[in-house]
A and B are shown apart, each in its own frame.
Chain A
Amino acid sequence: MESQILRYDKAEFIETDTGNKVSRKSIICGSQNIVLGGKTIIQRDCMVRGDLRRTGTGHAVVVAIGRYCFLGERSVIRPPYKTYKGVFNYYPMKIADHVYIGEGAVVEAAQVGSYVHIGRDAVIGRFAVIKDCCRILDGAVVPPNTVVPSFSVYGGAPAKLVDELPESTQELFEAQTKDFYYSKFLPN
């Protein structure tokens, strides 16, 4: 079953040259440290904390998001932190292409691979590494430092391997995110 057409108010979204659609009602902190790949949609009330950066001068990319991503409403994307040798620091996080982050999800992972579907209300702990082509079910709580290998489905709290994804996952997720961006996310 295909997803429904999601209508949005054109005045609410800023559309950049590269095709990113960012809601004006989203909470983007430190936008100079955030890189969006292009054709990414950031919904309202989504919080991206680009201001939490490693101490130091100069230009640093704190949150790098890829192409065709979708950050759902009320989701929180914040970089992970660690106290190492007595010093507290934030580390940069990287989200690759075609990632769908559901509503209300809290993502503090160090790295999220391509073609990943994170369900609603999921919590991804600090320094988790999610490889390509994975799926995190709704409400899953992924503990810190977990490595989610490719083609796995993790669910539950604490999240464990629940299922394996078929080999066609990459094509499927890619088609879904592209189809959503072009055909299902339309202005009023």
Chain B
Amino acid sequence: MQVEMLSVPPPFVYYQSHNHLSRPGPAVATPLSAPASEPEESLSLEAATQPPAASADILSLFPIARLYYCQDCSRICCPVCVTEEIAFYYCPNCLFEVPTASVKAERNRCGRNCFECPVCENTLSVVSTVEPPATATTPTTPDAAASPTTTSNVHYLACGACRWDSLEIGLQFERPTGLASQLQPTEDARPDVQEFEHLRQHFEKLLKSKDTANNVNPMGLLRGLSGGGLNLPSSLLATMPGLASFASIGRRSTTRESAAARAGREVKVETYTSSIELGNDKGEAAKDLIPSDIIPGTTLKQRLRQPNDNPVEVAHLRPHRVQLRTKRSKRCRRCDHMVVKPEHKAHSTRFTIKMLAIHAIPTITICHPFPETLQWDAPCTIILRFTNPLEVGITIALATTNAVVEPREDEPQAEPGNCQVTLLAPTFTVDPVREIWDYEDEPSASPLNVGVGVHERTKNTTSVSVQVTPRRRDSDEALNEGHTIQFSLLVHVSPIEEVDAGHLTLSSEAASAPAPAPVAKRTVPPVAFWVAVGLGAVERERAGQ
């Protein structure tokens, strides 16, 4: 999904998260003022001001909407550096929250009336008709006008998008509710379901015996992984995204087991015998799966959704129950504090905990006026707007890679950027958010051009001008075409401390707190991060110019 995000057409502003700063690098001389010294902070500001590695951008650049902010570590977390846990499961069709125990019983599918059309994958609706008991009039046109005679009602499924209905395969129901339970006997008789049950029972026996041998099961403490005791090998866990933090737990448990405990475990892993006997005919049976002389009427996707019988004809496709979806809560990988926790209701969009980057760091957008075309060696001015989400004013200091010094020794291939950037306003302030704006009408924006290079100042935003000159990077013309003109910007944000000392006001807020302590406002410690600003490709030169 990250590659897809980077394919957003320019102009864009992408933020680099702090997960690449795993090791402290050499101190880089910067023109910025010395950062505040906080030795306990896991993210030192000197480390953050290193220029980003040229090739590492793909996995660590995100739009600000996707980033989170961990308050305890004071760092920006991206979707890659948070661990996800499943909060609960819900059906996307009926929005019914399914308890975790039922999830396993129903094999991750909705246990109520939600079915998917086998042809077009959309949800089916339950349609009832009345079968006229005596007369021979054909009830083939399913009109949804069902008169409520309960005795001779025919209920079946119909698709609103492709007009498929389950009468084509002869599937109908007696009652309009509880359809999944009506279909359960036929589903349980399917060979792949039976095989899976057989496998599960085999491994459950194994787990139970292992559990009794290990009195203390550290895996049982794993959050979010239901089902007692999950003894996955740590190598397997390390390859799965999101579960890498559990790999260390697995390692701990195996080292904790002493040789005596292992010997005490009496159980042997018995070889698994399948409930279905496959003959040793070396692939003869496979030829019967799809006879070569029949052109399948079903698509590959439709066949793969019914793995047990690989239907070749459309008449053999059966509707499937809708798969459940999850709501996930996210944790910061370093300190394990929750960053996002959704509410336990399927239809609600609220979150119990929601620590987003848009509430902590300024949002940078490119605004109009935007240059119509980009030409080589022609300077153009773009306007960047910084929006301050905090309740205190902030000072922003900008720097570009040209200003931030020599390439490091371990990166001899540091690519020079393909444009030259001049910051007309390297340092400026942005006003805080005021709650009063929510309640009264917006005051008209009066552009105060305070400061050189500042384009406009409105409520809690400041727009600054940046001059960009695209420069040819290679002498070879072909390599220059099509590349997005982009540059990196280091943004250093420090909140302005409001000094209230020696100013004893008798307002209601100050009365409750001792005098020198200011009113607690939503603020963050000083933070620095890199931003990639992309503008677009240079227009191809027309012949003869």
Q: Flag A1-25 by CB within 8 Å of B: 1 or 0 each.
A: 1101100000000000000000000
With A1-B12, A83-B143, A149-B346: A158-B122 Cβ-Cβ less than 8 Å: yes
Docked pose: A147 CA to B325 CA in angstroms: 13
Number of interface residues of B (CB under 8 A): 49
Say yes or no: is A172 at the interface (Cβ < 8 Å to chain B): yes
Say yes or no: is A86 at the interface (Cβ < 8 Å to chain B): yes
Say yes or no: is B66 at the interface (Cβ < 8 Å to chain A): yes
Docked pose: A24 CA to B145 CA in angstroms: 41
In the complex, chain A residues whose CB is within 8 Å of the CB of B122: 143, 146, 158, 160
CB-defined A-B contacts under 8 Å, sample of 10: A1-B367, A115-B349, A131-B347, A144-B161, A145-B160, A149-B90, A158-B162, A167-B342, A172-B65, A182-B442
Contact check, B65 vs A168: say whether CB atoms are below 8 A apart. Answer: yes
In the complex, chain B residues whose CB is within 8 Å of the CB of A37: none
Q: Flag A150-186 by CB within 8 Å of B: 1 or 0 each.
A: 1110000010110100111111100000000011000
Q: Provide the main secondary structure of the chain A interface.
A: loop
Contact check, A147 vs B93: say whether CB atoms are below 8 A apart. Answer: yes
With A143-B161, A171-B358, A183-B445: A1-B144 Cβ-Cβ less than 8 Å: no
In the complex, chain A residues whose CB is within 8 Å of the CB of B349: 115, 131-133, 150-151, 170
Knowing that A158-B122, A170-B349 touch, tell me 10 more A-B residue pairs with CB under 8 angstroms. A1-B12, A2-B368, A84-B144, A131-B347, A146-B123, A149-B95, A150-B348, A150-B349, A152-B92, A158-B162
Say yes or no: is A85 at the interface (Cβ < 8 Å to chain B): yes
In the complex, chain B residues whose CB is within 8 Å of the CB of A139: none
CB closest residue in chain B, given A132: B349
| CB of B90, distance to nearest CB on chain A (Å) | 8
Contact check, B367 vs A2: say whether CB atoms are below 8 A apart. Answer: yes
What is the interface residue range for chain A against chain B?
A: 35 or more
Say yes or no: is B310 at the interface (Cβ < 8 Å to chain A): no
| CB of A59, distance to nearest CB on chain B (Å) | 29
Interface residues of B in 333-389 (CB under 8 A from A): 340, 342, 346-349, 351, 354, 356-359, 365-368, 370, 385
| CB of A9, distance to nearest CB on chain B (Å) | 20
- Between A151, A152, A163, A168, the greatest number of chain B beta carbons within 10 A of the residue's beta carbon is seen for A168
Docked pose: A86 CA to B161 CA in angstroms: 23
* Cβ contact of B347, chosen from A5, A144, A150, cutoff 8 A: A150
Docked pose: A141 CA to B359 CA in angstroms: 35
In the complex, chain A residues whose CB is within 8 Å of the CB of B347: 131, 150
Contact check, A149 vs B123: say whether CB atoms are below 8 A apart. Answer: no
Docked pose: A147 CA to B96 CA in angstroms: 12
Docked pose: A4 CA to B385 CA in angstroms: 14
Say yes or no: is B85 at the interface (Cβ < 8 Å to chain A): no
Q: Flag B1-26 by CB within 8 Å of A: 1 or 0 each.
A: 10010000001100000000000000
| CB of A117, distance to nearest CB on chain B (Å) | 13
Say yes or no: is B131 at the interface (Cβ < 8 Å to chain A): no
* Cβ contact of B144, chosen from A83, A161, A168, A171, cutoff 8 A: A83
CB closest residue in chain B, given A151: B349
Docked pose: A132 CA to B356 CA in angstroms: 19
Contact check, A85 vs B358: say whether CB atoms are below 8 A apart. Answer: no
Q: Flag B138-160 by CB within 8 Å of A: 1 or 0 each.
A: 00000111111000000000011
In the complex, chain A residues whose CB is within 8 Å of the CB of B66: 166, 168
* Cβ contact of B358, chosen from A4, A5, A133, A168, cutoff 8 A: A168
